[in-house]
Chain A
């Protein structure tokens, strides 16, 4: 981020990030524009992330402000409300080199919009927007600059570094970060140089052409980080289910072409063609995750898979789960992780329900890196089982565990529900024992939870109070009532719980050499 480059068009410093508003037409819409979009009978502000011509009609991929990305969707032009003003993309801060080029080119353009609008041309745009045609895709949004930075090389994190993924407009948005300068500049210049070479004035091309461009390795046709903002798979078929992916996942680029991607339930291999998938199924002999079963009860089993030993399977698993986990990064390989996979048995084999990954050695004491219940199994209580299982492992290890951050929205809710349940249970039990005293740490020890997580849960449930000049833990009516309600449900539906005595597991030991050679 360049400190205070003056924009002749911006009317102020770049630090003032007031979006410019104005009326737009279909022809002037570009990627990055925020417009009002009809959604469930309401008008919502949404950002255009991609544009295509589908069946001869302009189609927009939009992200709704303040809604999770998994609700991003392709919409026809009719749902855009162009009677209202749109927000033009924020002005870019560019280095002098970039700026010169932009200025040079802007001379050749007759543009009704303020000049800064040219700074956001996207050659991917398939609209017959002649204005954008000659522009160079040299600019990167704030966000893309940041997210194009590499995650730390040594860290074992499976989640994206939160600092790298902060959306624009947050507290970091306007703050210059001088230490990032060199890196950002590097990316910029390279992109610009490549773009200058690679981007000819172009006519709108079809989705097919676009895919072909991707396929032939010319990823410069689209801002690379923008690619990952658009869901690339339409639908997947897995077992008896058809599932709509939520996020981008780096499956082979060819699959963006397929209406349906077939995923083998057992080896998790992927096929864009039903014939290929059928042939694969004839040959595939796997019937369960390729590792050791470490837990089995009447409903589910757990398998422990070593990322290093089962690289292909774990990569397949990560590709699959990336479709549903926004914060997961596949930047690095799977070697430093163990994968605990929960399955359901039928005569056909062990069907994957969900999994969590865990660092072989977590410096921060995380007991879960990524955790996912596959969408076809969600809202059935399996998430709680996964979470409970992760704590059972921690109990055997004799450690207090906590999930790696950031959590997703669903992850947060899942964990909060689990924490609430187990803490309330322990408190009620202690109360029944007739010794109603317990420290926060004791609670944590009993549940293999970190003190911080216990504290947060208690606070969040308004259970930690100050009474008669002492801190007390209050079993609130609300919490007790909620637990009662849950118990009632369990009585009807049956209680799913991990039975610790069925767990046949000892913490895997890794040699120093394994660490040196990256597991």
Chain B
């Protein structure tokens, strides 16, 4: 395949495909050894070491030895690169410098404090500082003269704090002192810049130590520091200075556009707002906890006072009724939240107060639900008694007025009910609102709960224009008792339906279930022969209910009928009546409507 026939170039004869799987063989499994000679050389491979260093004596020795080994040479001679010494230090009191202070946590360490957080005052006393401090504590000043101040002893920590203050102040106030030979800061200036962040001792010792600091102060900081460029100057001289290190990198420039600026402003605004919100939240939490604390304190105070009272009672041998003493110690009406917590299953740690009895304190608590039940019962009782009274009152009397105050009692066994008009398994799409007008629909929603209406009212209220042909309103077969001899367009033949809004805005069309006709409003003079119709209603079949829907929704409403339409609210269920009001005068309807509204 290669035009170059020499065996020596076999390796390069075909380019190696790094993706192609290669056979892994042992040396003795190699078939052809004729080119063995050619492989007695290690090809020159890029080492990644600088050219100037690659030739270094020791490195070459090691590489050659490795190559020889790779080619099968047996040699026990270990080549290595010699390095300067690292030896155990002699006479180091390691334990003194490094106490056994570390205990390993069981989990991996997580840590974010910085060196500055961990080393205390950066200034550390040198040998000469120690000498001076000794002198100072012997009562002499820097010149060996007796100290005039009345300070006693200066601790090493205070000394370092003061020195550190001097050093930091001078580098802060005179950042270029070493360049422009500025005079050393005066004591007055130092005194001016010291503040509460420094200890009281530091304030006291400022003056005595100042003189010493001035003596020691040179152009460079007393604690040797590395040279770091603070300014963004990059002169060539700086570049060449090997002691300057850790320069700031140039900030990558992002293109400045108006859009970007606006974006940044928006972001900042948002950030500020969010921070403000977070701050408010934290503040409120703090406030809440503060209140909790006050509450606790007050509770405790109350408890203490009661305890004292009990002591008094014991001392004075006042014997109260049974259980009174306990009541003294236990709040009569503790906050109901204690119970609530219990309900969640997480019982908070509660301190049990030994109250003598073996009743748990929570058993003494009055529950809100109990109170409510009590109130409810009381109310019910009152109603019952009132009813009873009324009954007695009306005994042997019949109320013949229109809409009597006391309606005849409902038969409890058969309260009015609603049944779904649709079969449960029929899946018609949610019907459109039965009432085409927007306004009327809104009314439906706002209706409040009431008991189902009487048939009479329904028909009276089912506002229907007189001029409409009745057949439109009459839904044949909707009214089950069709064997009634009355004409089909009779008002009573109209079925009572309602539109109920269910969950998710779904509408249900429902027909009144069988009931005693006029049962609700017995005593009301009715012009219908409702009394005859005692049979049950049947739920309409699907087909019919669909027809009703269509009729109800398709039929255009005549002008001016909104005011007349009577709507019967029943909670979130909007009930309405669809029916023909044959032969009824308009005036009558209005009257009825006015009456029911009162």
B111-130 to A contact mask, C-beta < 8 Å, 1/0: 11111101111001111011
A346, B99: Cα distance in complex, Å: 11
Interface size on A, residues (CB 8 A): 152
Smallest CB-CB separation from B110: which chain A residue? A292
A154, B248: Cα distance in complex, Å: 11
Binds B, one of A4-12, A17-25, A84-92, A324-332: A324-332
> In the complex, which of the residues B31, B81, B242, B249 contacts A248, with contact meaning CB atoms closer than 8 Å?
B242
> In the complex, which of the residues A165, A170, A273, A311 contacts B126, with contact meaning CB atoms closer than 8 Å?
A273
B25-61 to A contact mask, C-beta < 8 Å, 1/0: 1110011100100010011011111111101111100
**Interface assignment of A133: CB less than 8 Å from any CB of chain B:** no
Interface of A is mostly: mixed
A504, B110: Cα distance in complex, Å: 12
A320-370, CB < 8 A from B: 327, 330-336, 345-350
A245-287 to B contact mask, C-beta < 8 Å, 1/0: 1101011111100000000010101111101111111011111
> In the complex, which of the residues A66, A191, A245, A460 contacts B42, with contact meaning CB atoms closer than 8 Å?
A460
**Interface assignment of B82: CB less than 8 Å from any CB of chain A:** yes
Interface size on B, residues (CB 8 A): 116
B230-254 to A contact mask, C-beta < 8 Å, 1/0: 0000101101111111111111101
Q: Are B109 and A288 in contact (CB under 8 A)?
A: yes
> In the complex, which of the residues B43, B69, B81 contacts A409, with contact meaning CB atoms closer than 8 Å?
B81
Closest Cβ of chain B: how far from A417's Cβ, in Å?
9
**Interface assignment of B92: CB less than 8 Å from any CB of chain A:** yes
> In the complex, which of the residues B21, B58, B109 contacts A439, with contact meaning CB atoms closer than 8 Å?
B21
A270, B108: Cα distance in complex, Å: 28
Smallest CB-CB separation from A216: which chain B residue? B219
A437 with B22, Cβ < 8 A, contacts A275-B127, A279-B156 known: yes
B1-43, CB < 8 A from A: 1, 10-11, 13-14, 16-27, 30-32, 35, 39, 42-43
Binds B, one of A46-54, A75-83, A400-408: A400-408
A413, B60: Cα distance in complex, Å: 11
Q: Are B22 and A472 in contact (CB under 8 A)?
A: yes
A270-310 to B contact mask, C-beta < 8 Å, 1/0: 11110111111101111110111110100001010000011
Q: Are B98 and A293 in contact (CB under 8 A)?
A: no
Smallest CB-CB separation from B107: which chain A residue? A293
A303, B207: Cα distance in complex, Å: 45
Smallest CB-CB separation from A270: which chain B residue? B224
A439, B22: Cα distance in complex, Å: 5
A454-473 to B contact mask, C-beta < 8 Å, 1/0: 01100111101111111111
Q: Are A348 and B98 in contact (CB under 8 A)?
A: yes
Residues of A contacting B103 in the complex (Cβ-Cβ under 8 angstroms): 347
> In the complex, which of the residues B13, B118, B237 contacts A267, with contact meaning CB atoms closer than 8 Å?
B118
**Interface assignment of A227: CB less than 8 Å from any CB of chain B:** yes
> In the complex, which of the residues A244, A277, A460 contacts B70, with contact meaning CB atoms closer than 8 Å?
A460
**Interface assignment of B262: CB less than 8 Å from any CB of chain A:** no
Residues of A contacting B179 in the complex (Cβ-Cβ under 8 angstroms): 217
A476, B53: Cα distance in complex, Å: 29
**Interface assignment of B439: CB less than 8 Å from any CB of chain A:** no
Q: Are B27 and A409 in contact (CB under 8 A)?
A: no
Binds B, one of A96-104, A118-126, A391-399, A510-518: A510-518
Binds A, one of B83-91, B402-410, B563-571, B573-581: B83-91
Interface of B is mostly: loop
Q: Are A165 and B56 in contact (CB under 8 A)?
A: no
Q: Are B120 and A240 in contact (CB under 8 A)?
A: no
Residues of B contacting A167 in the complex (Cβ-Cβ under 8 angstroms): 50, 52
**Interface assignment of A224: CB less than 8 Å from any CB of chain B:** yes
A224 with B241, Cβ < 8 A, contacts A239-B98, A267-B119, A336-B249 known: yes
**Interface assignment of B97: CB less than 8 Å from any CB of chain A:** yes
Q: Are A293 and B220 in contact (CB under 8 A)?
A: no
Smallest CB-CB separation from B16: which chain A residue? A471
Residues of B contacting A478 in the complex (Cβ-Cβ under 8 angstroms): 69-72
Residues of A contacting B126 in the complex (Cβ-Cβ under 8 angstroms): 273, 275-276
> In the complex, which of the residues A224, A242, A290, A346 contacts B114, with contact meaning CB atoms closer than 8 Å?
A290
Residues of B contacting A246 in the complex (Cβ-Cβ under 8 angstroms): 83-84
Q: Are B245 and A290 in contact (CB under 8 A)?
A: no
Q: Are B39 and A462 in contact (CB under 8 A)?
A: yes
**Interface assignment of A116: CB less than 8 Å from any CB of chain B:** no
Residues of A contacting B248 in the complex (Cβ-Cβ under 8 angstroms): 332-333, 518
Smallest CB-CB separation from B250: which chain A residue? A153
**Interface assignment of A496: CB less than 8 Å from any CB of chain B:** no
Q: Are A462 and B42 in contact (CB under 8 A)?
A: yes
Q: Are A273 and B127 in contact (CB under 8 A)?
A: yes
Q: Are A467 and B130 in contact (CB under 8 A)?
A: no
Q: Are B108 and A296 in contact (CB under 8 A)?
A: yes
Smallest CB-CB separation from A66: which chain B residue? B57
Known contacts A242-B88, A349-B98; 20 additional CB pairs below 8 A are: A190-B237, A194-B237, A239-B94, A241-B87, A250-B243, A252-B226, A265-B98, A283-B119, A285-B119, A290-B113, A313-B114, A313-B115, A331-B247, A333-B248, A409-B56, A409-B81, A440-B18, A475-B25, A478-B69, A517-B251
Closest 4 CB pairs of A and B: A252-B224, A283-B120, A167-B52, A228-B242
Contact sample, A vs B, 18 pairs, CB 8 Å cutoff: A68-B59, A148-B236, A242-B85, A243-B87, A244-B86, A251-B224, A254-B220, A255-B224, A277-B124, A281-B97, A332-B246, A347-B101, A439-B17, A460-B45, A468-B31, A472-B25, A474-B30, A516-B252
